[in-house]
Amino acid sequence: MFKAIVPDLYVQSIYDIDFHQLQRRGVKAAIVDLDNTLVEADRPDATPKLVSWLDQVRGMGFRVMIVSNNTRTRVSRFATPLQIPFIHRAKKPLTRAFKKALRRLETKPEETVVIGDQLFTDVLGAKRMGLFAILVVPISESEGFFTKINRMMERIVFRWMKEKGMLRWGDRP
């Protein structure tokens, strides 16, 4: 049952992802969550470090798209200045937004990774689509009500994964 939410890779942050290795695997695009993956949920703009990361990743030829469950206002205010396409109110883990992202990115599932901070939205949605799922540690502990509920359930799953030896820091495919 829990195997549908086991990430393919688990790292501290987006900055720890080896995009050269992903490129060697044929990956061409990244679907990225916004809140607590790229920046804190209450931070309106990108940090200079994030802007540099985006420049580097896009400079390698990767296409990047934000897929977020947040509102159009929140996501567009963040993504538009960075010229990142986005899908808001994605209703992750449902697959509709992931399918739409693949069409807009013009990539196949095996050419696309999903990067996010939640098992029950980002990872589960990615796995339901056959996408490579990268889980990052949430940037901040400041979160909304429903995310706090998800985090309580995640702790149970993390304990199970640890007991089964299914999740280790820096796991690589």
pLDDT per residue as tens digits for the range 73-108? 999 999 999 999 999 999 999 999 999 999 999 999
Q: CB–CB of 115/17 below 8 Å?
A: yes
Residue that is written with structure tokens 């808001």 in the block: 88
Give residue 68's pLDDT.
98
More confident residue, 86 or 1: 86
Fold type of domain 2-163 = Rossmann fold (3.40.50)
Lowest mean pLDDT among 34-38, 87-91, 98-102, 151-155: 151-155
CB distance 40 to 165 below 8 Å? no
In this prediction, residue 79 carries a pLDDT of 98
The answer for residues whose C-beta is within 8 angstroms of residue 40's C-beta and 6 or more apart is 139, 140, 142
Domain ranges of the chain: 2-163
pTM score, whole prediction: 0.86
CA atoms of 92 and 151, how far apart (whole Å) = 15
Q: Are 66 and 75 in contact (CB under 8 A)?
A: yes
Residue-level pLDDT at 173? 35
Task: State how far the Cα of 170 lies from the Cα of 154, in Å rounded to an integer.
Answer: 18
Strands 86-87 and 112-116: unpaired
